[in-house]
């Protein structure tokens, strides 16, 4: 029977804590005396040996209740630490992929709201001031800028339950980022306004530290990206200057030399030589004009000022215009045309698509032997019109096929062929502005196929 009383004490300690367990132990001793010890139904004791039994029962009950309550408290603490660790781990996992301060603040607010079932806000440092970056709904009623600025200035927690701004409903913790403060985390847990427990304060500070580390990483990623952007810009500028200076000097030198020869009265030239010099001047002037035109077109594409007005057009007429435009470059070159008569009209800007075809023809002429033909074909493929310009040149390596449409990119096989590497980049921009695609393919038997498609039905917004 005594063991039954002790069992009840253990159950009370595990279920309700130390206080109820102590009460159960004392009540058990009194009940044992009242019901089981003679004279029964009284608290009197006729045999003094029961006094020792009562003391043993009471002491054993007190010890058991204390140990059971301690075990219960330790188990509760372990569960709380496990929950805190899981919350911090989940926050760290979500913050790993974040590289923007706004995304980091949003993730922190969401996790704080889930853990504390209350309101939260994140203030992020911007220069020497704080700005509200993310907050839960209706957090304005419990979160203020003043306490956050105080924390940012002094680097200590404030607000609910602290010595500074104790009337605030929220607890403000600094997000420390050596050697400065990256921001402030404000938390208002669900429930009555009361000082936070030590565990709650520690968890909020852990959240703040995690957020500070993520903000530091985002700042470093931003700086690294900026450095890479500056380096890439410098490389691009250097490549541009080198390419442009070479391609500008060459035609200018030719034109200047030819004009000097024609103007020099001491140089005796026959009519055939004069005609050749005039042809050189005309050819180099056209080359210079194409170069400047490509630069201007590339600038318009990147600035988003190139507007495409699409009207149904005949691709055969566009091909004819492009061939006429490139007649000097194609002089003596065989051009094969394969365009069916029944092709439907495609919505396009004929002027711009003519420029695309002229650039593709110019590329084919530059990178293929003079004696080889160039083939231009067109056909319908599903809902698109496909146009191809094929040559029998050295071809483009697989690794270069996706890069030949980048600005200023020239393959290692380019050799001494002139150009700045803008023609294909401009062609890509124009085709994509039409809603089409462009690609470089290997031609069976050797050579390259430059292929672009245009949708047969107009759709979307043209730019």
> Before 39, cis peptide (omega within 30)?
yes
In DSSP notation, 301-346 reads HHHT------EEE-HHHHHHHHHHHTTTTTTT--EEEE--TTPPPE
Task: Look at residue 26 in the predicted model and tell me its pLDDT.
Answer: 79
- Sequence-ordered list of residues with C-beta below 8 angstroms from that of 380, at least 6 positions apart, any chain: 343, 344, 386, 456
Q: What is the pLDDT of residues 237-262, one digit of tens each?
A: 666 566 566 567 777 888 888 888 88
Q: CA-CA distance, 251 to 40, in Å (whole number)?
A: 126
| Number of domains observed in the structure of the chain | 4
Cβ count within 10 A of residue 385: 23
Q: CA-CA distance, 100 to 104, in Å (whole number)?
A: 6
Residues 430 and 336 in one domain: yes
Q: Is residue 228 part of a domain?
A: no
The answer to whether 37 and 50 have CB atoms below 8 angstroms apart is: yes
CA dihedral 406, 407, 408, 414 (to 10 degrees): 30
Give the domain range for residue 86.
Answer: 2-90
Q: Is residue 386 part of a domain?
A: yes
Q: Is residue 435 part of a domain?
A: yes
Residues 344 and 419 in one domain: yes
pLDDT at 74 > cutoff 90: no
Q: What is the pLDDT of residues 274-301, one digit of tens each?
A: 888 888 888 788 777 767 776 676 666 6
The answer to whether the Cα torsion of 263, 266, 271, 276 is positive or negative is negative
Q: Is residue 42 part of a domain?
A: yes
Q: Looking at 41-45, 180-184, 373-377, which range is the least confident one?
A: 41-45
Of 271, 287, 302, which one is at a domain's C-terminal end? 302
Q: Looking at 228-242, 255-269, 295-309, 406-420, which range is the least confident one?
A: 406-420
Residues 434 and 342 in one domain: yes
Residues 449 and 324 in one domain: yes
Higher pLDDT, 61 or 247: 61
Residues 295 and 311 in one domain: no
- Rounded to the nearest integer, the mean pLDDT of the chain is 80
Residues 286 and 316 in one domain: no
The answer to whether 2 and 34 have CB atoms below 8 angstroms apart is: no
CATH of residue 265's domain is 1.10.287
Of 38, 64, 90, which one is at a domain's C-terminal end? 90
Task: Look at residue 463 in the predicted model and tell me its pLDDT.
Answer: 45
Residues 14 and 107 in one domain: no
CATH of residue 190's domain is 3.30.450.40
Task: Look at residue 460 in the predicted model and tell me its pLDDT.
Answer: 44
Residues 152 and 128 in one domain: yes
Q: Is residue 112 part of a domain?
A: yes
pLDDT at 426 > cutoff 50: yes
Residues 78 and 117 in one domain: no
% of the chain beyond a pLDDT of 90: 15
Mean pLDDT calculated for residue range 427-441: 89
CATH of residue 372's domain is 3.30.565.10
Q: Is residue 214 part of a domain?
A: yes
Higher pLDDT, 148 or 57: 148
Residues 169 and 53 in one domain: no
Residues 310 and 298 in one domain: no
Q: Is residue 229 part of a domain?
A: no
Residues 422 and 340 in one domain: yes
Q: CA-CA distance, 242 to 247, in Å (whole number)?
A: 9
Of 40, 69, 90, which one is at a domain's C-terminal end? 90
Q: What is the pLDDT of residues 347-398, one digit of tens each?
A: 998 888 988 898 899 888 888 888 899 999 999 999 999 999 999 988 887 7
Q: Is residue 227 part of a domain?
A: no
Task: Look at residue 247 in the predicted model and tell me its pLDDT.
Answer: 61
């Amino acid at each position: 029977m005594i063991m039954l009383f002790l069992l009840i004490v253990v159950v009370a300690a595990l279920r309700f804590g130390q206080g109820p367990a102590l009460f159960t132990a004392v009540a058990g001793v009194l009940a044992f005396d009242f019901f089981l010890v003679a004279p029964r139904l009284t608290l009197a004791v006729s045999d003094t040996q029961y006094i020792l039994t009562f003391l043993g029962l009471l002491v054993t009950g007190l010890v058991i209740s204390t140990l059971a309550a301690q075990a219960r408290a330790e188990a509760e603490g372990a569960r709380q630490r496990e929950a805190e660790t899981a919350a911090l781990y989940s926050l760290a996992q979500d913050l790993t992929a974040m590289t923007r301060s706004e995304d980091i603040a949003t993730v922190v607010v969401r996790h704080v709201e889930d853990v504390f079932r209350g309101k939260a806000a994140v203030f992020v440092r911007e220069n020497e001031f704080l700005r509200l970056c993310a907050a839960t709904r209706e957090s304005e009623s419990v979160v203020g800028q003043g306490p956050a600025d105080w924390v940012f200035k002094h680097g200590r927690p404030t607000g609910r339950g602290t010595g500074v701004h104790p009337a605030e409903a929220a607890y403000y913790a600094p997000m420390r980022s050596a050697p400065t403060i990256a921001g402030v985390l404000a938390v208002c847990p669900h429930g009555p306004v009361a000082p936070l427990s030590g565990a709650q304060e520690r968890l909020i500070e852990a959240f703040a530290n995690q957020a500070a580390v993520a903000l530091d990483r985002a700042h470093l990623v931003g700086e690294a990206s900026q450095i890479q952007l500056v380096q890439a810009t410098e490389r691009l500028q250097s490549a541009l200057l080198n390419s442009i200076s070479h391609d500008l000097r060459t035609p200018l030198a030719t034109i200047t030399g030819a004009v000097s020869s024609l103007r020099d009265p001491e140089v005796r030239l026959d009519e055939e030589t004069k005609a050749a010099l005039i042809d050189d001047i005309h050819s180099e002037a056209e080359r210079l004009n194409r170069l400047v035109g490509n630069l201007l077109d590339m600038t318009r594409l990147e600035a988003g000022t190139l507007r495409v007005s699409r009207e149904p057009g005949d691709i055969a007429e566009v091909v004819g215009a492009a061939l006429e435009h490139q007649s000097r470059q194609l002089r003596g070159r065989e051009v094969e045309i394969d365009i069916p008569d029944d092709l439907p009209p495609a919505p396009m800007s004929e002027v711009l698509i003519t420029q695309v075809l002229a650039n593709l023809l110019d590329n084919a002429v530059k990178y293929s032997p003079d004696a080889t033909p160039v083939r231009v074909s067109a056909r319908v493929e599903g809902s698109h019109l496909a146009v191809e310009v094929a040559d029998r040149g050295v071809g483009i390596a697989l690794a270069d096929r996706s890069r030949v449409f980048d600005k200023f990119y020239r393959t290692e096989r380019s050799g001494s062929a002139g150009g700045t590497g803008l023609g294909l980049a401009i062609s890509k921009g124009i085709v994509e502005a039409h809603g089409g695609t462009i690609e470089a393919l290997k031609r069976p038997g050797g050579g390259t196929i430059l292929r672009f498609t245009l949708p047969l039905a107009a759709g979307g917004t043209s730019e």
